[in-house]
Structure 1
């Protein structure tokens, strides 16, 4: 068991430290985890635990990256540069065929295109390159009539949305994120890790299953076809999520779906910048824009994950937090979200894969402890 908690909490936030310590004490191997929380922009929780993790250790954040991607989309829409109701093809003429020409930008962002992947799948080098992925998908046949259903576009949504951003701005989504968000707010959350920061990077580690978890995993049966395709498992050999995240090309290019690198401080900072402001700068999102990105966009069941009412405007809805909250999890177990109702910006990362993946179970009690303090204040 690993029990040492490092870092600090502000006065009154001690229950969060206690919850984090209890989680670490129950883990058979160090999860290599970080937890950061900002309250109305102020850093109130800055904790970490692991045998090879510090507060500034950078690691793969998987689909937490999508939060940065969808924040860029929200900003462009807020600025009037991107019309969410226009067809995608109005910006990207090559995006056509099989009903794609009728798909709106709003429907695309909310995982409604049906373009889950290419038929043959993508190599690590290919899936790291958003421009290449977008080109491959531009005239592809979708898995359903675009705009009539939705399903998690796990490894391609950033490429699809990013191509629209490129057509609108003339720059890649990664460049817009760097200029509008990351650099001005000083965020330790990168879409493309600078070479000068390589010495702070540490890899994702494999999960270690208990016998009960191994039995539950084996009893789950084969992965449904749509999920296999969306997660690039239909290629030969099937994609290894750990090998993907640790691949140098993924780290270098910072694909907008799941190729980001960061710390919990960076994730919390992203969401604080969105709703509260940071580093003396104002909030990026106006209140009505924040409400719009959290608003339900996808009623019914996700055709890939089987989740219900899954998405707002690209962001995952945070049902356990509240109707105004929005964020995104990452495959290794991390989670980031903003809750305008309480002023909370939450960032949690872990480098050792959690079972069963996506937002790790400890996020429930950790977030509950955070919200209890915030609501008490």
Structure 2
């Protein structure tokens, strides 16, 4: 049991976070989890159990947060325009009236392809984009929204590639990952493979077992393919880690993601915030009131990011980030100056952000509210 005692650091005033973290990992022996938080420019929590601090694992849709941080930077630079049609950047794209804003808001209806995608295709964003360019949408574009689970990164990544001549991964590496030394990758180099710790299946039966593969949820998660996607196998495949599909192939740890979000909203390592106040205001405005047609969630998306502040009541309404299927949750809260990342190696039964995030985020937020930045 010693391996599962919460180890690491908490700043003065954040002792309740260690207690909450210990309770979470003690309830699920063998879990393997990491928790890191920043308050303004200061790391205030750095805890781990059953893993080393610098271990890496598959963090799935956490990649969408990194991808859409890049998109926000390109909008901020004037390279991309939110209300310009996607086809202006990508002439082969068949939905000629869909805007970039609508695409980022999961409104295109292009949640998958007829017959599904193979595992080889799902690993390669350019292949996914080519398959989607002429795909008939699964609802009228712009009239509803639904989680584009496996494909949103390929769609937005293709817009980035056409507008800049560079891949989203290259821009992320140059402008975000390398300058801050982040342990979060959209494509894991071979040199870092020794630190990868395989994703583990849930110990409980999956709640997804009864999903109709031809429902919107089934299509979005590629369950209608001849070989439905096994998420554990997917992350643990070297080709997926190497190519880093930006919808589903993020690899990293809590230190990397928390620092990324801290850099997005605050001064860090002697650099100004990555995002200006105007960009934060634009990208933290709710785009999707109402019910997600795929997941059934309410008020799900900002621009590219999930509306994290509407899910966790101890956060400000502008908190933005993204969960990962393994149970991970990461975000920035511009109102409180918090940046947070919780990662784990074992799937939850339901997938998505693990339930323990509720208590962990509450402990972090309440500790920060009682603390003054040094």
Matches within 5 A, 1:299-310: 299-310=289-300
Aligned residue runs from structure 1 range 126-141, under 5 A: 126-141=121-136
Question: Could you tell me which residue of structure 2 aligns to residue 273 of structure 1?
Answer: 263
Q: What is the distance in 2 between the residues matched to 1:157 and 1:306? A: 18
Matched, 1:41 2:41: yes
* Equivalent residues in 2 for 1:203-242, closer than 5 Å: 203-209=198-204, 214=205, 217=207, 222=212, 225-242=215-232
Q: For structure 2, list consecutive stretches of 5 or more residues without a partner in the other structure.
A: none
1:353 pairs with 2:347: yes
> Deviations along 1:192-238, whole A, 9 cap, x unmatched?
111111110111001101xxxx4x94896646710111001111221
Answering whether residue 239 of structure 2 is matched by residue 243 of structure 1, we say no
Match of 2:325 in 1: 331
Q: 1:119 to 1:220 in 2, by over 3 A?
A: closer
Q: For the structure 1 residues 3 and 348, does the alpha-carbon distance in structure 2 shift closer, same or farther, using more than 3 Å as the test?
A: same
Contact 1:111/1:153 (CA < 8 Å) preserved in 2? yes
Whether the aligned pair in 2 keeps the contact of 1:185 and 1:281 (CA below 8 Å) is no
Q: Is residue 211–residue 218 contact of structure 2 (8 Å, CA) maintained in 1? A: no
2:11 matched residue in structure 1: 10
Q: CA separation in 1, counterparts of 2:109 and 2:118? A: 20
Describe how 1:159-198 pairs up with structure 2 within 5 A: 159-198=154-193
Alpha-carbon contact 2:284-2:320 (below 8 Å) kept: yes
Alignment check: 8 A CA contact 1:111 1:151 kept: yes
Q: Where do residues 280-319 of structure 1 align in structure 2 (5 Å cutoff)?
A: 280-318=270-308, 319=310
Q: Distance in 2 between matches of 1:277 and 1:243?
A: 38
CA deviations 1:49-89 (Å, max 9, x no partner) are 11xx1100001110011000110111000111101100000
Deviations 1:159-203 (A, max 9, x none): 000000001110001111111111111111000111111110111
The answer on 1:253 being equivalent to 2:251 is no
CA contact (8 A) 2:54 2:253 kept: yes
1: CA distance, partners of 2:15 / 2:261: 22
Q: Which residue of 1 aligns with 2:83?
A: 85
Q: SS where residue 8 of structure 2 aligns?
A: strand
The CA deviation at 1:322 is 2.5
- Output the aligned Cα RMSD: 1.5
Displacement of 1:278 after TM fit?
A: 2.1
Q: Mean Cα displacement is larger for which, 276-285 or 303-312?
A: 276-285
Q: Aligned match of 2:104 in 106, 109, 129?
A: 109
Tell me which stretches of 4 or more aligned residues in structure 1 moved more than 4 Å: 218-224
Query: CA–CA distance in 2 between the matches of 1:340 and 1:289?
Result: 12
> Residue 283 of structure 2 contacts residue 302 of structure 2 at CA under 8 Å; is this kept in 1?
yes
Shift of 1:5: 1.1
Structure 1 position 26, deviation (Å): 1.5
Give me the whole-angstrom Cα distance separating, in 1, the residues matched to 2:173 and 2:67: 11
Distance across 1 between alignment mates of 2:208 and 2:73: 43
After superposition, what is the alpha-carbon deviation per residue over 1:72-131, rounded to whole angstroms, capped at 9, x for unaligned? 1110001111011000001100001xxx10000000011111011111111222111001
Report the counterpart of residue 56 of structure 1 in structure 2: 54
Distance in 2, Cα, partners of 1:62 & 1:111: 17
For residue 138 of structure 1, report the CA deviation from its aligned partner.
0.6
1:65 is matched with: 63
Aligned length: 366
Q: The residue matched to 2:96 in structure 1 has which SS?
A: helix
- Asked whether the 8 Å contact 2:207–2:349 carries over to 1, the reply is no
User: Is the 1:31–1:353 contact (alpha carbons within 8 Å) kept by the matching residues of 2?
Assistant: no
